[in-house]
A and B are shown apart, each in its own frame.
Chain A
Amino acid sequence: AQSVTQLDSQVPVFEEAPVELRCNYSSSVSVYLFWYVQYPNQGLQLLLKYLSGSTLVKGINGFEAEFNKSQTSFHLRKPSVHISDTAEYFCAVSALNRDDKIIFGKGTRLHILP
């Protein structure tokens, strides 16, 4: 079975500062990895995904994530955040070519400070 750990439940960061949201996963098989964003009172939106190939993945809204197989990590980064990035961010994992289930982490709430 797969699992995801998001180490920080909340991350405060000043506007225009860089941010990193941490994610580690556990799996006995190869995986797909995802980051989703949830704005207040909305559903989740796909931010980016890693399927294969280049370990650096770029997504929407200036976010990127790096897959590190040896450290089983998939941290999300943005060089300069804006107030509009205030949201909850979910890391997720799915077993490669097994089934369609995506398992989500508990989420990290990003607070942008003015």
Chain B
Amino acid sequence: DAGVIQSPRHEVTEMGQEVTLRCKPISGHNSLFWYRQTMMRGLELLIYFNNNVPIDDSGMPEDRFSAKMPNASFSTLKIQPSEPRDSAVYFCASTSMGAARGYTFGSGTRLTVV
């Protein structure tokens, strides 16, 4: 089991550019979550999917953020255009059979927008 795989590990981009973060959940997990971690706000849930369908995107900060899950083994989080305040660590997590199992987190993508 390779765990939840996120890419890239680090991303530095200029303001206004499009950024795409990628996540491969654990095989067999049917729920996938995107979190953002900052010093000021801690861990914020952005969006989560169940069986590839977005269930709750109320945490997505604004229209510049979008997420997709085209199949059970891949999800993307896109920011277009990026802004310096988007700088954060973005985590993907997955689970099966609901929250009771807890989540397995990826190692995160550290995004810096300059």
Contacts and interface: CB of A to CB of B under 8 A. Distances in A.
29 contacts: A34-B102, A42-B107, A43-B91, A43-B93, A43-B105, A43-B106, A43-B108, A44-B105, A45-B105, A46-B103, A46-B104, A49-B102, A51-B100, A90-B43, A94-B100, A99-B99, A100-B31, A100-B33, A100-B48, A100-B55, A100-B98, A100-B99, A101-B33, A101-B99, A102-B103, A103-B45, A105-B42, A106-B42, A107-B42
Given A42-B108, A43-B108, 12 more contacts: A43-B93, A43-B107, A44-B103, A49-B100, A49-B102, A90-B43, A94-B99, A100-B50, A100-B98, A101-B33, A101-B99, A102-B99
A22 B22 CA distance: 34
Interface in B21-58: 31, 33, 35, 42-43, 45, 48, 50, 55-56
B98 A46 contact: no
Interface of A: 32, 34, 36, 41-46, 49, 51, 90, 94, 99-107
Nearest to B6: A43
Contacts of A99: 55-56, 99
Contacts of B95: 100
SS class, residues of chain B in contact with chain A: strand
Nearest to B40: A106
Interface in B77-102: 91, 93, 95, 98-100, 102
A25 to B, nearest CB: 14
A44 B4 CA distance: 11
Contacts of A105: 42
A83 B30 CA distance: 37
Nearest to B91: A43
B56 to A, nearest CB: 7
B99 A104 contact: no
A39 B97 CA distance: 26
Nearest to A47: B102
Contacts of B105: 43-45
A11 B107 CA distance: 24
Nearest to A98: B99
Nearest to B9: A41
